[in-house]
Structure 1
Amino acid sequence: MAIELDRAQRDQAIQSLTRYVEQELDQRLGNIAAGALLGFFLEEIAPLVYNQAVAAVQERLSQRVAEVDVEVHEDEFQYWRRREAKAGGRR
């Protein structure tokens, strides 16, 4: 699955890359070079991050599904117990 950015996100990412290179590496990076670098990151590295995020979500969902029976469990045959408890409180 290719990871794509919309135009506004791409522009913002390019601005961030050029700023980072200028401030942290003391180098000048033009918009075309920054765009190419961003494209490389999206194609080469972004799938790794994406796959890790998917794995984390799968683990979290598995844990939640395992807890569903506890969260939504209802005890059976409670009518008479509840009725007796109400009657006991009225005495």
Structure 2
Amino acid sequence: MSSIKFSNAQKDGLVVKLQRYFEAELDQELGQFDAEFLLDFFAKEMGAVYYNQGLYDAQAILNDKVTDISDAIYEIEKPTDI
């Protein structure tokens, strides 16, 4: 898997969310540089876990749809005497 990359707009938005979280929940000010550093750490060290879970969730949805299609095909089968 390649490294997780965010657009500048996404990164800016995530940095703001981190800063707000630290202020609201931890009563600490988190500077721009520190927030970017923390975001990069999360992406590098934990991003793959979230990415993989997203893949597993997508695979489960796909499996459900394939099962639905298989059931629909079975329902329209024509009876034969063979």
**Structure 2 CA distance for aligned equivalents of residues 69 and 62 of structure 1:** 10
Q: Give RMSD over aligned pairs.
A: 1.6
Q: Give structure 2 stretches of 5+ with no counterpart.
A: none
Identity of aligned residues (%): 35
Q: Which amino acid aligns with 1:65?
A: V
1:85 is aligned to none
Residue 22 (str. 1) matches residue 23 (str. 2): yes
**Structure 1 CA distance for aligned equivalents of residues 26 and 76 of structure 2:** 61
**Structure 1 CA distance for aligned equivalents of residues 49 and 78 of structure 2:** 47
Misfit runs of 4+, over 6 Å: none
Structure 1 residue 71: deviation in Å?
2.3
Q: TM-score, normalization: structure 2? A: 0.82
Structure 1 residue 54: deviation in Å?
0.5
Q: Deviations over 1:29-88 (max 9, x none)?
A: 1000000000001111121011011012112211221221222442437xxxxxxxxxxx
Aligned to 2:72, what secondary structure does the other structure show?
Answer: helix
- Look at both structures and tell me which one has the larger radius of gyration over its CA atoms: 1
Q: Give structure 1 stretches of 5+ with no counterpart.
A: 78-91
**Structure 2 CA distance for aligned equivalents of residues 27 and 37 of structure 1:** 14
